[in-house]
Amino acid sequence: MDTFADLVACEDLLLFVNAAITATGQREFHSTQGEQRLSLEFLHSYIEVNYPDLYAATLALDINDHNAALIIRNLLARPGAGDGALIARRLERMSPPRVYGLFQRLRRDGVNNRRTRAIIRDWLAGRPDLAFDAVKYRTALKEAVRHAHLKLPDELATFLFEPRSRSRFGTPILDTWRRAHYEQAALYDLPYTVAEGFAARHGIRRELFLERIASRMTRLERLRLDNRLERTRPETDADLAAMPLVRLASYALSLPFEQRAARRTELTTAFRTSARRAAATRAGTWGRVAAVLDDSFSAYGSAAKRRRPLAVAVGCHFLLEALAGEYRGLWLSGGSDPLMAHPVGPTPLGQRIIDALETAPDRLVIVSDGWDNAPPGLANQVLRTWRRRLDPERKVSIVHLNPVYDAEDFDVRRLAASVPTAGIRDAEDLPALVELAQFAEGRTGLAELRAHLTERAALR
């Protein structure tokens, strides 16, 4: 049987996981960037000191890259902390810019023990094309090599540290970078972010540059650029369908309403294709599902995370539709079209929860930042009454998924003590988070939670 200390540890760890999934240290609708960062740093310190083994094990969960980098930095700064193999596997899942940023932070912090140098060495050795990295992430790679005291092949070392000492490089991309300094045609064979600087140096018209560099852009670079240029057909259908749900939702929500309506079939097909891919073998197995989805004004998020909470709700809508045998989504605004969703109005969670429960679902999923204000506290009263009086046997599974970290409470905001709340960042994590929510309900304890972390670590 779990002791009181075990129950506290379980609750503390779940609180930290919620934060590590949702918080990125950026401004949110209800808190500033400074408040977010201060709160998150305190929470990392608290968990690392009190539960060092559990702190390290959270790398096996679907926490975001920002917090994974903070955990790795803290583990590497403490000799013997954490599992080196798990750290290495987590680095493999992170984007190269994030990893290079972490290496630069380790250098600034003076973390240069043998394990740190080995992890940097092994990660760089696993890169598919280090010459490409030398061009695209030149400064960061140079700092990582210096920090880990690595020996590179002569040509690559010369390119990083003495590029002007050679009149020619044998590696094509390195020589292309050299020629791009004086030959305009060469820059179009470089990565977009590198070529952009050379285009400005040569005074090339922006429109001409973008037209000729398009084939070198990544899918995400094309989408970001086309949003700014307000093009009507920025990508192929395959590009859209291959995107993760929340990223696809962010793109769709950035379009004017007229474009969303005109491209309804295309966007809906892309959402459903992405959702079926995420649901995989679980598609259609969840029975009757009702969802309460937050499109109130606070779903706008902030200038740093524009429409992110709303995008999470839209992504969850399409994934739940794929998971359910029978599905109904209820938006707080009363709307019924996820493609036309926009942040507006108050947050009447209580009334929408009543509407959802009246459909007699097997599962109720609430996706909201938890700021119930129309009227305040109604959602808490509804859920408490439902659990205590109408459904004490918990025949209806209810989970609240919150995409926003509450800096003041060091957690995501909860609706009711009787309903588990989990933080969510990517819609694809929804099935795993619903599973993790059982720990928050108190049906399982610390031993089961440790076993869950161990199992997840083995799968990574």
Residue 363's beta-bridge partner residues? 289, 397
Q: Please, which pLDDT band fits residue 231 given cuts at 50, 70 and 90?
A: very low
Residue 450, pLDDT > 80, answer: no
Instruction: Give the pLDDT score at 222.
Output: 79
Residue 382, pLDDT > 80, answer: yes
Instruction: Give the pLDDT score at 337.
Output: 94
Residue 449, pLDDT > 80, answer: no
Percentage of the chain surpassing pLDDT 90?
A: 74
Flag whether 87 is in a domain: no
Flag whether 312 is in a domain: yes
Q: What number is the average pLDDT over the span 227-256?
A: 76
Instruction: Report pLDDT digits (tens) over 57-71.
Output: 899 888 999 999 999
Flag whether 362 is in a domain: yes
Q: What number is the average pLDDT over the span 28-47?
A: 94
Residue 215, pLDDT > 90, answer: no
Helices 245-254 and 264-279 sit at what angle, rounded to 10 degrees? Answer: 160
Instruction: Give the pLDDT score at 8.
Output: 73
- Name which of 219-228, 241-250, 321-330, 401-410 the model is least confident about: 219-228
Residue 96, pLDDT > 60, answer: yes
* pTM, entire model: 0.85
Closest CA to 334 of 345, 319, 324: 345
Flag whether 397 is in a domain: yes
Check which CATH number belongs to the domain holding 401 and give it: 3.40.50
Alpha helices by DSSP H, 308-347: 308-323
| φ/ψ (deg, to 5) at 190 | -105, 160
410, HSE (Cβ side, Cα atoms, 13 Å): 16
Flag whether 223 is in a domain: no
Residue 9, pLDDT > 80, answer: no
Residue 448, pLDDT > 90, answer: no
116, HSE (Cβ side, Cα atoms, 13 Å): 26
| φ/ψ (deg, to 5) at 154 | -55, -45
Percentage of the chain surpassing pLDDT 70?
A: 90
Residue 214, pLDDT > 90, answer: no
Q: Please, which pLDDT band fits residue 220 given cuts at 50, 70 and 90?
A: confident
Instruction: Report pLDDT digits (tens) over 168-201.
Output: 999 999 999 999 999 999 999 999 999 999 999 9
Count of domains observed in the chain:
1
- Name which of 60-64, 260-264, 313-317 the model is least confident about: 60-64
Residue 29 CB contacts under 8 Å (≥ 6 apart), including other chains: 298, 300, 301, 302, 309, 369, 404
Cα distances from 293 to residues 193, 316, 335, 348, in angstroms, run: 37, 9, 10, 11
Give rounded-to-5 percent helix, strand, coil for the chain: 60, 10, 30
Q: Please, which pLDDT band fits residue 77 given cuts at 50, 70 and 90?
A: very high
Instruction: Give the pLDDT score at 170.
Output: 93
Instruction: Give the pLDDT score at 164.
Output: 87
Q: Please, which pLDDT band fits residue 167 given cuts at 50, 70 and 90?
A: confident
Instruction: Give the pLDDT score at 283.
Output: 95
Tokens matching residue 202: 């040569």
Mean pLDDT for the chain overall: 89
Residue 454, pLDDT > 80, answer: no
- Name which of 153-162, 242-251, 288-297, 445-454 the model is least confident about: 445-454
Sign of CA dihedral 386, 388, 393, 397: positive
Residue 282, pLDDT > 90, answer: yes
Residue 446, pLDDT > 70, answer: no
Q: What number is the average pLDDT over the span 419-441?
A: 82
- Name which of 316-330, 341-355, 425-439 the model is least confident about: 425-439
Instruction: Give the pLDDT score at 232.
Output: 41
Residue 310, pLDDT > 50, answer: yes
| φ/ψ (deg, to 5) at 218 | -75, 170
Flag whether 378 is in a domain: yes
Q: What number is the average pLDDT over the span 72-100?
A: 92
Flag whether 392 is in a domain: yes
Residue 13, pLDDT > 90, answer: no
Cα distances from 29 to residues 36, 109, 139, 345, in angstroms, run: 11, 31, 34, 14
Residue 92, pLDDT > 70, answer: yes
- Whether residue 16 contacts residue 68, with contact meaning beta carbons closer than 8 Å, is answered with no
Flag whether 244 is in a domain: no
Q: What number is the average pLDDT over the span 423-433?
A: 91
Q: What number is the average pLDDT over the span 124-147?
A: 96
The parent domain of residue 295 ranges over 264-459
